[in-house]
Amino acid sequence: MKNEVLIYTKNKETLEFLREFFKENNEYPTIFIKDNKSLLNRLNKKKPDVLITGSPDELKGISYSKIGCTVIAMLSGDITNGIRSVIKNSVESYLISPFHKEDFEYKLNAAVNKTELAKSIHYEKKDLETVLELIHIISSTLDPKEVLNFVVSKIAEIIDVTRCSIVSIPFEEKRHAYVIATFENPKIANIKLDLKNYPEIRKSLSTRKTVVIRDASKDPLLKEVRHIIAPLNIRSIVVIPITFRSEIIGTLFLRTSRACHAFTDREIRLCTAIASSSANSLYNAFLYEKMENEKLQLQKLAITDYLTGLYNIRYFYHRFAEEFSRTRRYKFHLSCLMIDIDHFKDVNDKYGHRIGDIVLRKFSDLLKKHTRKSDVLARYGGEEFIMLLPQTPAKAAVAKAEALRVLIGKHRFSEIERKRRLTVSIGVSSYPARTIKNKEDIITVADNTLYKAKSNGRDQVVFHNSKIQN
């Protein structure tokens, strides 16, 4: 099933960009919503994989915590207020006008991947709970029939199969198998099957491996019995061997007649776990470990910029609040550098956005390499970066900024011609200072001094109203 993208914005420029983008890229089904009420109704009926909006303020009356998917904000106009609104509403991803298709595609793919990862974690959690429940049943009853019926009923409940049976094949038996549990009727037992009509079971027995039939109407394994299967409208079949002390004692045999949906890899994994849970508790540990690893991946994705690997601005503001509180409590110094690559648009125009992205990543790596562990470095947006320097007075912050300016000016980026060098403009602010009353002023002052550095000719560091000479 393709990922669904919901679009709601009143900005004509943004709408035009999005319509053109999705006209060329039909990988994701898109739905354009015209008004706030329609959006709310749509969200109540079905959660999209991604919601794209303009300024977060457009979503009046809708709690971001209840949207249920990743939100991408397309900011235009007052960018500073737009970013503050993004942070205030905990929007996870945003772009700044003018929009570029490559940049938006990165953001969209990252948002879709994050949604899919969240879904995967949800299902893995449910699967783990199912396996643990089965283990509890096994350990609390001496009635094997009860356990077997629980297994088939639980699989049918979670996966919605047409048939789900546990088939026993006695050690001395080669031609027949016996259905000992089926979810269709718990009272059914010991139904005799002629293995001649079940080549998938025979193959599972001979290979000692799971057999998956994605499409029963086309799989060559079922050629000899296709006339039997066709009237039953069976689409997909899975046969999972159940082993005990290296001996195959039976199979977990599932059938589904879903018209256009074969068993997924996740469903097969779950069935395998259930089939072996009584004999292989290690699988449960693996499932739990996998879920924890995916949680860590999701947490990392939530605080990391998709392109550069640096912290994103949302996490920066979180750390910024912590550091400012600590600075005031213990009367420390706190400095901030606002860094902007000069004329980076020329790089994109001359070499293309793909090369521009590579240069941005290498530039970010260079900054990160010369950042202390205690510092907080984040991508502010586009080719602009922000660095927080805890316990750093103004003089040291200016020296750090100047060292970075010189370092970057000398660095050779192999993707662009040798005679062209990247330069940066850096605005510096430091607390405490007469012009800084609160934490918001630290960012504002750094932003204003960066603007002065660019207005004064670029490739320089500016601290408050004083220009640092090259």
CA distance 344 to 87: 26
The dihedral formed by the CA atoms of 15, 20, 24 and 28, expressed in degrees to the nearest 10: 0
Q: Within 10 A of 125 (CB to CB), how many other CB atoms are there?
A: 15
Choosing from 231, 255, 290, the residue where a domain stops is 290
Cβ atoms 405, 460 nearer than 8 A: yes
Cis status, amide bond into 98, omega within 30 of 0: yes
Choosing from 220, 255, 290, the residue where a domain stops is 290
In this structure, are 95 and 224 located in the same domain? no
Candidate list 92, 383, 384, 402, residue with the active-site label? 383
HEC readout, 114-144: HHHHHHHHHHHHHHHHHHHHHHHHHHHCCCH
In this structure, are 319 and 437 located in the same domain? yes
In this structure, are 89 and 157 located in the same domain? no
In this structure, are 282 and 354 located in the same domain? no
CATH of the domain at 85: 3.40.50.2300
On whether residue 108 sits in a domain, the answer given is no
CA distance 264 to 241: 18
In this structure, are 318 and 413 located in the same domain? yes
On whether residue 450 sits in a domain, the answer given is yes
Residue 386 burial class via C-beta count within 10 angstroms: exposed 0-12, middle 13-18, buried 19 and up: buried
383 as an active site residue: the answer is yes
CA distance 310 to 303: 9
CB within 8 A of 362, min separation 6: which ones?
413, 415
In this structure, are 285 and 319 located in the same domain? no
Task: Return the half-sphere exposure (C-beta side, CA atoms, 13 A cut-off) of residue 415.
Answer: 17
In this structure, are 19 and 69 located in the same domain? yes
Cβ atoms 265, 102 nearer than 8 A: no
In this structure, are 263 and 153 located in the same domain? yes
In this structure, are 349 and 254 located in the same domain? no
On whether residue 279 sits in a domain, the answer given is yes
In this structure, are 158 and 259 located in the same domain? yes
Choosing from 49, 81, 99, the residue where a domain stops is 99
In this structure, are 88 and 231 located in the same domain? no
In this structure, are 285 and 317 located in the same domain? no
How many structural domains comprise the chain? 3
Task: Please name the helix (run of DSSP H) or strand (run of DSSP E) that holds residue 293, with its range, or none.
Answer: helix 282-303
CATH of the domain at 402: 3.30.70.270
On whether residue 226 sits in a domain, the answer given is yes
On whether residue 105 sits in a domain, the answer given is no
The region that residue 47 occupies, defined by phi over 0 for left and psi between -120 and 50 for alpha, beta otherwise, is beta
Domain range for 332: 313-468
Tens digits of residue pLDDT in 83-109: 888 888 778 788 888 888 888 888 888
> Mind listing the pLDDT tens digit of every residue in the chain (470 residues)?
566 888 888 888 889 999 989 888 877 888 898 887 888 888 878 788 888 888 777 777 677 666 778 888 888 888 888 888 888 877 878 888 888 888 888 888 888 888 888 888 887 788 778 777 777 776 666 666 677 777 788 888 878 788 888 887 776 667 888 887 888 777 776 788 888 999 998 898 888 888 999 888 889 999 999 888 888 888 888 888 877 656 565 665 666 555 567 888 888 888 887 777 654 433 343 355 567 778 888 888 889 998 999 999 999 999 999 999 999 999 999 999 999 999 999 999 999 999 999 999 999 999 999 999 999 999 998 999 999 999 999 999 999 999 999 999 999 999 998 778 899 999 999 999 988 989 999 999 999 999 999 999 999 999 975 544 34
What one-character-per-residue DSSP string does 367-426 give? HHHTS-TTSEEEEEETTEEEEEEET--HHHHHHHHHHHHHHHHH---TTS-TT----EEE
Q: What is residue 436's DSSP assignment?
A: B
On whether residue 110 sits in a domain, the answer given is no
Q: What is residue 49's DSSP assignment?
A: S
On whether residue 426 sits in a domain, the answer given is yes
On whether residue 113 sits in a domain, the answer given is no
